[in-house]
A = this chain, B = another copy of it.
Amino acid sequence: MTRHYNFCAGPAALPVAVLERARNELLDYQGRGLSVMEMSHRSDEFVAIAERTEADLRQLLGIPTQYKVLFLQGGASLQFAMLPMNLLGQGGSANFIQTGIWGKKAISEAKRLGFNCHLAASSDVNGHTAVPDENALSLSSDAAYLHYTSNETIGGLEFDYTPHAQRDDGVSVPLVCDMSSNILSGPLDVSEFGVIYAGAQKNIGPAGLTLVIVRDDVMGKAPSTIPSLFDYQLLADAGSMVNTPPTYAWYLSGLVFQWLKDDIGGLAAMDAINQRKAQKLYAAIDASDFYSNPIAVRNRSRMNVPFVLADARLDSVFLQQADEAGLLNLKGHRSVGGMRASLYNAVPEEAVDALIAFMADFEQQRG
């Protein structure tokens, strides 16, 4: 068996320790004679797994008691629909800070569903290379919530502040954040948010699970005519088991949370590692005329590092040689081209060191 370094933007690398434990338990979970995949979601064994997973997540993120944690399906993209259907039931408009492709998709879906949308700020003016200044936010007078994307996975643009979701009339509205690609990368003050959501397939677990952390007062306002599996209150009341949840993905996420707690030592320790990884890669890019990254330094993503070669004709040979060197999935998103190294929690520091060494070698050969 060989394990390579995997810089995929998602579905992304998982911790080796998690995969090994999953492998060891795959046919027989703790002597029960069956796989976690083969258990009823209502069995004592699975309920214990589900509860421990939630408790570990609550501990890692310090989630206050007035928040529910939902383990759902459909990806962050389904939340683009579920959010306005839950939060605009009593009217008003969805306000957005748009800093890239994912934020744009969230707006498109809300508009498709016929909801009123307002752009509170956008980084379109600078080509999504810098997050709008906090003072530039302008919420509409009917704003019911403010939505933003804390890290744009494709652009590699990350917020360096938590927006203040306040209208001109002084009313604070729920702050809603798509944290798909940077949740659990470091500590977080959950109490600043009305809703946090994230697709699992970056820092949580395998694709097919969506985490939604929602404050109690935000729920229970959805019209009774939306699909029952869309209603946060119904989902919370049923412990995310209105119907069969994605049990194996839930279990694997629990293993990731245990790894974060026990092997890494929590989110402050994870943050320090992530800072080091990102800083050394950006430093290598900045020290070279051969590689470049266009993002304002304060908004450079710690999770997704896009970069281009001075000569784009070398892209394919760069990618091929990287792949041969065991550095996988460095190709940039099809919408932007170039390269992208995703440095999620499960990507070890050695992987970043190996990438930097490869980049230096390649530059020496071809620069």
Residues of A within 8 A of B (CB): 1-4, 6, 8-14, 16, 19-20, 22-23, 26-28, 31-35, 37-43, 73-78, 81, 109, 112-114, 199, 201, 206-209, 224-225, 227-229, 242-249, 252, 326, 328-329, 334
Contacts and interface: CB of A to CB of B under 8 A. Distances in A.
A117 to B, nearest CB: 14
A3 B112 contact: no
A39 B8 contact: yes
Nearest to A247: B207
A40 B10 contact: yes
B3 A247 contact: no
> From DSSP, what is the main secondary structure of chain A's interface residues?
loop
Nearest to A23: B26
Contacts of A113: 225, 227
A220 B334 CA distance: 27
Contact of A13 (B28, B38, B112): B38
Given A78-B227, A225-B113, A201 B23 contact: no
Q: Which 3 A-B pairs have the closest CB atoms?
A: A208-B246, A4-B33, A81-B227
A342 to B, nearest CB: 10
- Residue of A2, A20, A252 most packed against chain B (CB within 10 A): A2
Contact of A1 (B10, B28, B75): B28
Contacts of A34: 3-4, 6, 8, 13, 328
A224 B111 CA distance: 11
- Residue of A20, A31, A34, A229 most packed against chain B (CB within 10 A): A34
